[in-house]
Structure 1
Amino acid sequence: MSSECRSNVFLEVDIYIPEGVRCCGQHLDRNGLIFRPLILALTSQNRPYVIPGADLQQLLGNLRREAQANDKLFNPNKLSEEEFMCLFSLNKVDFAYLLTFCDPVPHERGVRHISSKDLMTFLCKMRQGLSDKLLATLFNYSSRQAVTLAVGKVRTSLAMRFVPENIGTAAITREQFIARHVTPFANELYNNEPAVPKVIVVCDSTYAYIHKSSNFRILRQSYSLHKGRHLLKPTLLVAPDRYILAILGPYFSDTWNNDAEILRDAFERDAEILQE
């Protein structure tokens, strides 16, 4: 076991493991640390033990680096599944899968790579709505501008591959949509010929609240008399099993953009929707 692994056990459960102790590789994660559930299940004997000088120096050095890093928020291995879901609305397996879609973003001086810390910051901002200044403090960024850059490059990276492959009429065929996402109940309820399955979607607008604009025209167009607030209206095409087929808009929230007009505009702008 590495010194970092033994130090991590000491930090987690106050158990010191001497140098030379071995551990099966299948019990270690990608960072060479014992999986947290296994650490919590460890037992020990409370007896005096003299730590050799070199081992003690190494242990204190690891503890010092750990204290300086203070990286719990952007280290997935130190967050429980409940904490991870609360912060990012994803479990660790889904987060790792989403990270595979984060390709490097082209830049005039080369490319900008996406780290797990950048993706966690982006998801936390989307889930919690925190300011960039606060995120810089929580995730140990050098400045607010660094957070803005990280969030921007993650958004750009996901738009390059993840969004086209998962959202929109081009991401799935008609046959796949019917087989995977049209439930038997919806087919019986909305299809006049249940023996011949058809595409069934729910089209509705939701609200994205915004601040008042300094542009008077946008100020008027974004004010909703129904809600009494300034907002935009993204329109979603959703399958009966909650699969999001496409996102239209966003549209302004004035009287000219009711659900019927939004749907008409969507059909006029995107002929693929009618073809699919």
Structure 2
Amino acid sequence: MLPKIISCIWCSKITKKNSFNQTKSWRNICTKGYQWIHQLIEERGSDLETEMLICSKCLTMLYKARKCRGTANGEGFCGDGNNEEYCIWCLKYSTETVPLSAAERISLLCDYKIYCSSNARRCVNRCLEIPVQRTNEPTRLTAKQTISILNDLIDEVNRIKLMPIFLENDSVGSEEDFIAWTGWNLNQLMEMTSLIEPHMYKSKHRSPFGAVCMYWIKLKTNLSFRQIGTIFKIQTTKESIRKRVEDTFHTVSTHLYNALVPLHLGFHHISRTDALEHHTAYTKTFFGNNLSIIWDGTYIYTNKSEDHKLQQETYSGQKSRHLIKFMSIILPDGYVLDLIGPFKGKDNDAKISKAILDMNDNLSIICEPGDTQIVDRGFRDVAGVFEDLGFAVKMPGFLKQGEKQLTAEQANDTRMTTKTRWVVESFHSQFKKWRFFSERISQDYIAYIDILVRTVAASLNKYRSRLYEGKSPEDYALANKMLLLKSRSSHLEQLIINGDLSLRKQWNNIYDIEPDFNFPYLTLDFLREYTCGIYQIKQSSSYAKAHLFNNDDQFEFQLFSSNDSLLHCRLHSKHSRTTKYYLCIQFDNDDDDDPIKDHYCQCKSGARNLGCCSHVATVLWYIGYARHISWTPPTRTDIFREKIFDC
């Protein structure tokens, strides 16, 4: 009969049953007298057995630890250093483990006050995020162990002193840190690294991941190359640091451009069918199923040049600054079709777009006659060129000489255009969050500014979600409602034009709103639906604050003497100190579903029926909503105004 094999419950040392009977080096600990050892076994994650044996070496070690336990500091360190046979995190035996690195051992010591020797191991599958607490393993270090841990701490301090701010396999930088410094999360940066790594030379001074981080930190923060070199702990002379980072920046710029731009930017990278997938409910409802493209110019400020000719060509009379321009060509959900440039600062959007059409016929790759080109007023000189090519042009209306207000039809068409065109402005805001493009650049960058600009645009296409989906059932419902409202006429407009409401004696002044003032309560959902958007509601608090300031904190308005369902008010223009606009609102307190019957304002776009202007929205928001929630004007900016001296 084969001898029975037994093992130590603590260290798993194996022996035969015969050997156990013949020696005093083993002890049976199943009795109640060893309950304190039972507790230690359970804390280590092991199960108690019916027959538990422990070797004399482990028993002696536990007795010594027990003797010291009564005087151990509860806030002190734990871990006895005998940890080569189990996982230091979960305390389990018989699992596949790997040795801990010095950094991991130091992290355990600093973060969790757990001491472990250089032989410590951890489960291969990274079993736990936080190690199991162990209060019954007081740390007693020998002189050799103390010297070893001090050397580890010194090595770790020296490593951190020379460690760059970002490493792909380091836990120091959080996800938020990567986004704040580069604009991208860790996974996105690692994917970019994989794109350029085959083309980059790797050395002890520069890793591909670090090079990608340097590139995006430069664009995101616009720090100097010397400052970025300090962040990445580059050890060389001052001038060499700047040169090394600059060379890295240009190298990454070239490789990222070659990897991203051909696949994610330009008329050639997308088919017409795919481009149509980027439509929204509003472009489909307003302009049909043909392709809609949004055009708008953006600019990057530059320093003055010693070259007089270059200085003249980059000067913009409109901005009174030196700049270069790019033309953004965007699909309705914010996907960048192309970003073309740079162009001279003195050229306007119409001249630039005409030059783009003359330089190449790339537009014909995905566009067909009948497609819609959505532009702003600066493109009016090139609208005929688009129409000659067979495209429909949608542009906000503009006043002719002597006119003060757009007609209702012009104002409604303008609202439909701005409802679809705002996404290009949102893209420019997103693009200029990389501060390199929002601040003034040196003329040295002009030679390759197109590479930088197009790389950022291609990266946004690949790694960011679309700026605006706009395909929900609610979007389609609002778009169809706006289309129906377009044909509605305003009864108030006719009354005001005919002079029926113009006599001052017909209006009763109200200087303050009593809590029981009889006006319909309007929810934010109703206001969003009535204004056909949120922009006017966002503007309302600023208009209301100014109106209260100008009228001694009283919201002054008037009611019609013979019809108390007509409200009249004067609001200032935010662009002019002296200009005020008269507006009129007709309401019905008995109609809960449609309490606001009509409106009219004398501002430029106040005649529209597709939503309303910000002046009308302000009165509706304040009287119908804000006063019910005890809204008070924000005071944060008052101190700024008070700090400015009057002359």
Corresponding residue of 2:349: 259
Matches within 5 A, 1:112-261: 112-113=201-202, 115-141=208-234, 142=236, 143-179=241-277, 181-191=278-288, 197-254=289-346, 257-261=347-351
Give the CA deviation at 1:22: 4.0
Distance verdict in 2 for CA 1:49–1:104, change over 3 Å: same
Distance verdict in 2 for CA 1:12–1:99, change over 3 Å: farther
Corresponding residue of 2:96: none
- Structure 1 CA distance for aligned equivalents of residues 161 and 140 of structure 2: 26
Amino acid corresponding to residue 104 of structure 2 in structure 1: R
Question: Which of structures 1 and 2 has the larger relative contact order (alpha carbons within 8 angstroms, sep 6+)?
Answer: 1
Distance verdict in 2 for CA 1:123–1:168, change over 3 Å: same
Amino acid corresponding to residue 217 of structure 1 in structure 2: K
- Structure 1 CA distance for aligned equivalents of residues 171 and 140 of structure 2: 30
Give the CA deviation at 1:43: 5.7
Residues 1:66 and 2:159 are matched in the alignment: yes
Please identify, of 90-99 and 59-68, the stretch whose mean Cα deviation from structure 2 is larger. Answer: 59-68
Give the CA deviation at 1:42: 4.4
SS class of match (1:23): strand
CA contact (8 A) 2:325 2:343 kept: yes
Amino acid corresponding to residue 243 of structure 1 in structure 2: Y
CA contact (8 A) 1:183 1:241 kept: yes
CA contact (8 A) 2:302 2:322 kept: yes
- Structure 1 CA distance for aligned equivalents of residues 173 and 164 of structure 2: 10
Corresponding residue of 1:92: 186
Q: State the Cα deviation string for residues 138-185 of structure 1 (Å, max 9, x = none).
A: 112231000011001000101222111111112221111212x22222
SS class of match (1:203): strand
Distance verdict in 2 for CA 1:57–1:268, change over 3 Å: same
CA contact (8 A) 1:85 1:91 kept: yes
- Structure 2 CA distance for aligned equivalents of residues 203 and 168 of structure 1: 14
Q: State the Cα deviation string for residues 3-41 of structure 1 (Å, max 9, x = none).
A: 23523523762533524554343439xxxxx9xxx3xx4
Give the CA deviation at 1:124: 0.4
Q: State the Cα deviation string for residues 241-274 of structure 1 (Å, max 9, x = none).
A: 21111110111111xx211111111122231222
What do you get for the CA RMSD once the two structures are aligned?
A: 2.6
CA contact (8 A) 1:6 1:17 kept: no
Q: Which has the higher helix share?
A: 1
SS class of match (2:233): coil
Please identify, of 69-78 and 89-98, the stretch whose mean Cα deviation from structure 2 is larger. Answer: 69-78
Q: State the Cα deviation string for residues 99-129 of structure 1 (Å, max 9, x = none).
A: 2221444xxxxx6356100000000000111
Stretches of structure 1 lacking an aligned partner (at least 5 in a row) = 29-33, 106-110, 192-196
CA contact (8 A) 2:267 2:365 kept: no
- Structure 2 CA distance for aligned equivalents of residues 82 and 225 of structure 1: 41
Distance verdict in 2 for CA 1:165–1:7, change over 3 Å: same
SS class of match (1:78): coil
Stretches of structure 2 lacking an aligned partner (at least 5 in a row) = 1-98, 367-647
CA contact (8 A) 1:206 1:234 kept: yes
- Structure 2 CA distance for aligned equivalents of residues 124 and 144 of structure 1: 14
Distance verdict in 2 for CA 1:201–1:59, change over 3 Å: same
- Structure 1 CA distance for aligned equivalents of residues 109 and 301 of structure 2: 44
Give the CA deviation at 1:87: 0.5
CA contact (8 A) 1:6 1:16 kept: no
- Structure 2 CA distance for aligned equivalents of residues 99 and 10 of structure 1: 31
CA contact (8 A) 1:112 1:153 kept: no
Distance verdict in 2 for CA 1:134–1:45, change over 3 Å: same
Please say which structure displays the higher CA radius of gyration. Answer: 2
CA contact (8 A) 1:102 1:158 kept: yes
- Structure 2 CA distance for aligned equivalents of residues 101 and 169 of structure 1: 22
CA contact (8 A) 1:103 1:157 kept: no
Distance verdict in 2 for CA 1:57–1:12, change over 3 Å: closer
CA contact (8 A) 1:7 1:62 kept: no
Distance verdict in 2 for CA 1:251–1:51, change over 3 Å: farther
- Structure 2 CA distance for aligned equivalents of residues 50 and 153 of structure 1: 53
Amino acid corresponding to residue 82 of structure 1 in structure 2: E
CA contact (8 A) 1:182 1:200 kept: yes
- Structure 2 CA distance for aligned equivalents of residues 112 and 269 of structure 1: 38
CA contact (8 A) 2:100 2:122 kept: no
Corresponding residue of 1:31: none
Q: With the length of structure 1 as denominator, give the TM-score of the two structures.
A: 0.81
Amino acid corresponding to residue 349 of structure 2 in structure 1: D
Residues 1:274 and 2:364 are matched in the alignment: yes
CA contact (8 A) 2:331 2:337 kept: yes
Distance verdict in 2 for CA 1:49–1:139, change over 3 Å: same
Residues 1:16 and 2:114 are matched in the alignment: yes
